[in-house]
Structures are given as C-alpha cells and as structure tokens.
Structure 1
Amino acid sequence: MIQLIRQRTLASFLSLVGLIVLVFFLSRLTGDPTNLFLPIDATQEMKDQFRALHGYDDPILEQFGRYVWDVLHLDFGDSVRRARPAIGVVLEAFTWTLRLALITMTLVTISAIIVGSLAAFRAGGFFDRFASLLSLIGASAPDFWIAIVAIVIFAVTLGWVPTSGTGSVWHWILPVGVLFIRPFGLIVQVVRGSMITALSSAYVKTARAKGVKNTPIIFVHTLRNAMLPVITVMGDQAAALLNGAVIVETIFGFPGVGKLMIDSILQRDFNVVLAAIMVTAIAIFIMNLLIDMAYAALDPRIRY
C-alpha cells in the first residue's frame, strides 16, 4: 500500500509541475493585462509603472523563475483585480465548488447504485429497459444544453426556482440537477453491466440454492465484487464534476472556482488563474489517490 501511494504521489507531482509550466506560458499568450486594468486615457508612463510594479516588463523566463520560487514558498501572488492574495480568493470560491460536487456525487452514487443493481437483477425487464433508456439519454446530453433548457422551463416559464445565486435550497436545485444527469447515466450503465456479470457467478448460484433472499444477494454478495469498475467511473466523474462545473457555474452565476477561473481569464488576472488551476489539480490528484487506496482495500491483489 505504501509503495502504491508513493508511486501515485510522484506521478501526480510530475504532472503538477508540467501543468504549472504549461498554464504559465499559455496564460501569457493572452496578452498584456495593462490595458484592462488602467483607464483608457492612461499615459505611457502610468502603463510602464504598472508593468514594472507587477513584473510584466521582465523577460518571460525571469517571470517564470520568480513565480516558481514564490510557489515553493507557498506564495501564489496577489490578485491584481481584487488586491488580495490569489490563493485566498481561490480557496473561498473552491469551497462552493466542493460543496456542489459533494452534494451531487452523494446523490449520484446512492441513486445510481440502487437503480443499476435493480436493473441488473431484472435484466431485460421493463425497469431495466426504462432505466437503460434514461441513463443513455442522460449520459449523452451536453451539460450546457441541459442547463439552458432547465432555466427556460423551470425558472423562466414555470417560475419554480431562481436562475442564479446560493441564498437558499431552491438556488441549488438547478445546478445540482444539471450536474447530476451525466454521471448518473454513466454510473448506472457501469453498475448494471458489472452486476450482471457478478450475478452470473458460481457463488451467487450457490447462495440462491441455499435459499438466500434477493436483497442480500444483490447488496451483500455481489455488490462488493462489482464495485471495482464502478469506483473507476465514480472517480472519473467526480473529477469531471470539478472541471465540468466551469460551464454550469458560469451559466447559473454560481460563485465557484469554475466561474472564478473564467472571469480571471477574461480579466487576465494571471495569479488567480494559476492558483485556481493548481488547487483544482491538487484536489483531483488527491481524489485519484483515494480511489487507488479504495481499489487496494477492495482487492488485496492490487496492493502488490
């Protein structure tokens, strides 16, 4: 187990270094932020002072070296737009994204396992066909289209829920509902296929021959052995929620790290963009590490 964690941590660290290099230089290609932060009638002297103050007039490699040195000392710079430490701005927004992802994945996991298991137990029946149809539609529909349609129907036409904000439970319904659909559809399909394979195993036939009831067969005997591929997809979808929340948060005006990232890119607030991407990447790396540990817990062969 320790060797597995060490290998995954090293691979994640190397990936993070490559991501920092890539994002730093790509963000500089968006242009000089001076004209965005200074008024139109700013003089050339004011522009030069602004560039010198924030180090934009230095050679790009010198800027990169200084940034890496600061990051190694846990200094991610200040947000030019907000005049606050960039990491503080990002962590404040990331808490909202994390809440949104946790609520969504909790609902997705519980409902998808139940629906997929029941569909597998009655494979070929009406419930199986109905659940498969809904899950395929959900897995195929794009998030941005679902979000726009949901706003038009439930917020504008019916007036049941607000279109944006986080003030009450009603404000969370549309963002959670939109993010729920795609992972639910994918995980239901994986649970169904994995459970069908597990239900055809010899130990299940033996349990049925001994008179074991259906509920223990599904949720005790077969579910654990069917969970390995399910955990893989759940981990991928949880990471996708952190990334995919960019679109949903922007559409619903949700104050998460996705919307913050888009706003900062448009504003060329480089330090916030880099800090947001690094925090998101670290969260995904930690999530993947936890998934690997869950693998090892469910299947002792993986520990070696």
Structure 2
Amino acid sequence: MTRYLLSKLFEAALAIWGVVTIVFFVSRVLGDPAVLLLPIGAVEQDLERLRAALGLDRPILEQYVISMLAMFRGDFGISFQHTRPALDVVLERMPATGLLAGTALVFGTLIGAAAGAIAALRRGTVAEFIVMTAALLGQATPVFWLGIMLILLFAVELGWLPTGGYGSLAYLILPGVTLSVFVSASIARLLRSSLLDIMREDYVRTARAKGLLPKTVFLWHIARNALIPVVTMIGIIAGELLGGSVVIETVFAWPGVGRVIMQAIQAQDFPVIQAGVALVAVIFVVVNLLVDLLYGVLDPRIRRH
C-alpha cells in the first residue's frame, strides 16, 4: 500500500508540474499585461519600468525557473490586479465554489442514482422511458442556456429568486439546480447501463439460484459492483465542479474559483492564472487519488493488483 501511495503521489506531482508549466508558457503569449495596467497613452519608458517591476523584462526561461522555485515554496507572486498574494486571491473564492459544487454533487448524485436504479429495475416500462428521456435531455441541454431560462422564469417573471450573486440560501438555488441537472443526468445513464451489465453476469444468476433474497442480491452482488464506474464518473465531476464551473459562475455572478481565473485571463494576471490552475490541478489529483482508494473498498480484488 505504501509503494502504491508513493507512486500515485509521484504521478500527481508530475501532473501538477506539467500543467503549471504549460500554463506558464501559454499565458506569456496572451499579451503584455503592462499595456492593460497602465492608462491609455502611456509612453514606452513607463511600460518598460512596469515590466521591470513585474519581472517581465527578464528572459522567458529565467522567469520560468524563478516562478517554479517560488511555487515550490507556495509563493505564486503578487496579483497584478489585486496587489495581493495571488494564492490568497484564489483561496478566498474556494468557499463559494465548494458550496456550489457540494450542493450540485450531493443532490445530483442522489437524484441520478435513484433515477438510474429505477430505469434498470423497471426496464421496458414507461418509468424507464421517462427517466432515460429526461436524462438524455439533461445531458444535451447546454448549462448556460438552462441557467438563463431558470433566471428568466424564477427571477424575472415570477420574482421568487435573485438573478445572481452570493449570500443567503436563495442565491444558491438556481445555480445549484442548474449544475445538478447535468450531474444527475450523467449518473443516471451510466448507473442504468452498469446495473444492466452486472445483472447479466453469471455470479448474479448463481446468487439467485442459491435462494438469496432479491434485496440481498441487488445490494451485495449487483449495486456494489455497478458503482465502480459511477464512482469514477463522480470523481471526474467533483474535480470539475471544485475546480470552478466557469460558465455557471459567470451566468449567476457567483464569486468562485472559475470566475476569478476567467477574470485573470482577461486581465493577463499571470500570478492569479498560475495559482488558480495549480489549485485546480491539485484538486483533480486529490479527488482521483481518493477514487482509486475507494475502488479497493468496493471491490477487494483491486487491492491485489
């Protein structure tokens, strides 16, 4: 187990380094942040002084080495826009993103799991048709369009909920529901397919032939094995949501990580871009590591490989 964890941690560190490196070089070709930070009409001497102050006048490889060494110490530099540590700018948005992601993931998983189980156990019935049609529509509908439609209906027409922002529970309902629709639709379709595949396995027929109760067969022989691909899906979705759903956070003016990264890209705020992407990469790696460990709980045979 120790060797397994060490290998996963090494792969995680390598992945994070690769992502941050790519972002560093790509962000440098976006443009010159000094042009955006200074007033229109600034002379070349002012631009050169600002580039020197920001360290942008050095060779690109020198900037890269300095940036990497600082990142290893947890220092992503000072935000060009906010004149504060870039990591602080990103971390202060995490509670909002975590609240939105957690709400969407919990409700989406519960609804999707129930819908997928109903569709599998009621195969060939009207219930399966309704569930799968709804799931297909949920996956095919663009989240930004769904979010705008919900705003028009519940905020503009009915006036029940705010159009956007961050605050009380009322502000969470519309963005949470919008994200939950996609999550539940994805999980419902995958769980239904996985359950139907497991139901056709020989060991399930053997368990039924032994006279085990249908509830026992479903819980211990079908559902437990069918959850493995679903756990993978949940892990991927959780990483995406915790990394910040840029579209939803923009539509609903939600002050999350995705929105602050998008604003940093528009302003060419390199330190915030790198801090945000590094944080997202760490979240993805940690979530996937937890998913790998959970495989061994669901299927003990995986531990031996």
Could you say which TM-score interval applies, normalised by the shorter chain? Answer: over 0.9
- Bigger mean CA deviation after superposition, 3-12 or 80-89: 3-12
Written as runs of structure 1 = structure 2, the 5 A alignment for 1:217-232 is: 217-232=217-232
Give the structure 2 partner of residue 27 of structure 1: 27
Report the identity percentage.
36
For the residue of structure 2 that corresponds to 1:57, the secondary structure is coil
Deviation at 1:198, TM superposition (A): 2.9
TM, length-normalised to structure 2: 0.93
1:237 deviation in Å? 1.8
Amino acid at match of 2:84: R
Distance (whole Å) between structure 2 residues aligned to residue 294 and residue 187 of structure 1: 17
Structure 1 CA distance, aligned partners of 2:197 and 2:268? 51
Q: Any conservation in 1 of the 2:120–2:195 contact (CA below 8 Å)?
A: yes
The 3-state SS of whatever aligns with 2:230 is helix
**Aligned CA-pair RMSD:** 1.9
Q: Residues 281-302 of structure 1, C-alpha deviation per residue, up to 9 Å, x if partnerless?
A: 1001000000000012222222
- Given residue 211 of structure 2, which amino acid in structure 1 is its aligned partner? K
Secondary structure at 1:84 match in 2: coil
**Cα distance in structure 2, aligned partners of 1:188 and 1:297:** 22
Give the match's secondary structure for 2:57.
coil
CA contact (8 A) 2:80 2:269 kept: yes
CA distance in 1, matches of 2:166, 2:294: 33
Q: CA deviation at 1:153?
A: 2.1
1:97–1:242 contact (8 Å) kept in structure 2: yes
- The amino acid of 1:47's aligned partner reads L
- What residue in structure 2 maps to residue 109 of structure 1? 109
Query: What is the number of equivalent residue pairs in this alignment?
Result: 303
Structure 2 partner of 1:266: 266
Using the alignment, how far apart are the partners of 2:275 and 2:2 within structure 1? 29
Q: Residue 167 of structure 2 aligns with which residue? A: 167
Match runs of 1:129-208 below 5 Å: 129-201=129-201, 204-205=204-205, 206-207=207-208
Residue 40, structure 1, aligned to residue 40, structure 2 = yes
CA displacement, residues 191-234 of structure 1 (integer Å, 9 cap, x when unaligned): 1122223334455554487372x555444542112111111111
Distance 2:261 2:113 in 1: 33
Equivalent pair of 1:117/1:218 in contact (CA under 8 Å): no
Comparing 203-212 and 255-264, the one that deviates more? 203-212
Q: Which moved more, 1:71-80 or 1:190-199?
A: 190-199
Gaps of 5+ in 2: none
CA offset at residue 44 of structure 1? 3.3
| Bigger shift: residues 271-280 or 155-164 | 155-164
Q: Check the 8 A contact 1:79/1:85 in 2, yes or no.
A: yes
Which residue in 2 is equivalent to 1:247?
Answer: 247
With the length of structure 1 as denominator, give the TM-score of the two structures: 0.93
